[in-house]
Amino acid sequence: RTPSPPSKPPKSPLHSISSTEILLSTIFTFDLPYFFPLLFSSNNTDPFAFAVFELLHDQPEEVFSFFLLHILFHELHKTKDENTLFRGVSPAMKLMRIWVKR
């Protein structure tokens, strides 16, 4: 009888996180106040902010939606006013429009 190969331990969820997701989560966690105006202004001239936005835009749907929710919660916490948020002027709403178009 041949011994069965040792079973591999199950991968932890961290193994499936890409470096891009780590970069995005770091940026969105620590630099939200800085990135909000840059990412969503019509005259965005910051190349780093633009690159971050492009990174986010190219992510799979579940990653994109995770960051969208992250931004939504941040916006709600910041504005404390759903009416302002859902008038469509907030970054989260702009991002949601992009998500719907994808």
Would you say how long the chain is, in residues?
102
Query: Does residue 52 have a pLDDT over 60?
Result: yes
Residue 11: inside a domain = no
**77: domain range?**
18-101
> What is the tens place of the pLDDT at every residue in 62-100?
777 777 777 677 666 666 655 555 554 556 666 666 666
Query: Does residue 33 have a pLDDT over 70?
Result: no
Q: What is the mean pLDDT of residues 28-34?
A: 59
Residue 10: inside a domain = no
Residue 4: inside a domain = no
Amino acid in position 48? F
Residue 72: inside a domain = yes
Token readout for 12 is 């932890």
Residue 9: inside a domain = no
Tally of domains within the chain = 1
Residue 5: inside a domain = no
Residue 37: inside a domain = yes
